[in-house]
Amino acid sequence: MGISRLTTIAITFSEPMDKASVQVAFNVTIPMSQNGGTFAWSADGRTVTYTPPAPFAYAANVAFRIGAGSK
């Protein structure tokens, strides 16, 4: 059986979001090397999935934030 690694971060909002503002405000804070990935949005604009440039390391602490500029 293989070891599972986190490969995406999915965030669901209570209402549709402005995609560009969320993507600019999104930041992986731990580990910082995981910024620069890609975003995919649901059709209704309420869920965004972030895929980092490489899978997170097994058992790694991962933290992210979405700044106040998102709308």
- Average pLDDT of the chain? 91
The pLDDT score that the predictor gives to residue 12 is 97
Please say if the pLDDT value at position 37 is more than 60. Answer: yes
pTM for this structure? 0.87
Q: Of the candidates 27, 39, 40, 30, which has an alpha carbon nearest to the alpha carbon of residue 66?
A: 27
Q: Render pLDDT for 15-30 as a digit per residue (tens, 0 to 9).
A: 999 999 999 999 999 9
Decide: 67 and 22 in contact? Cβ < 8 Å. no
Q: What is the C-alpha to C-alpha distance for residues 17 and 19, in angstroms, rounded to an integer? A: 6
Report how far Cα 5 is from the mean position of its chain's Cα atoms: 15
Please say if the pLDDT value at position 56 is more than 70. Answer: yes
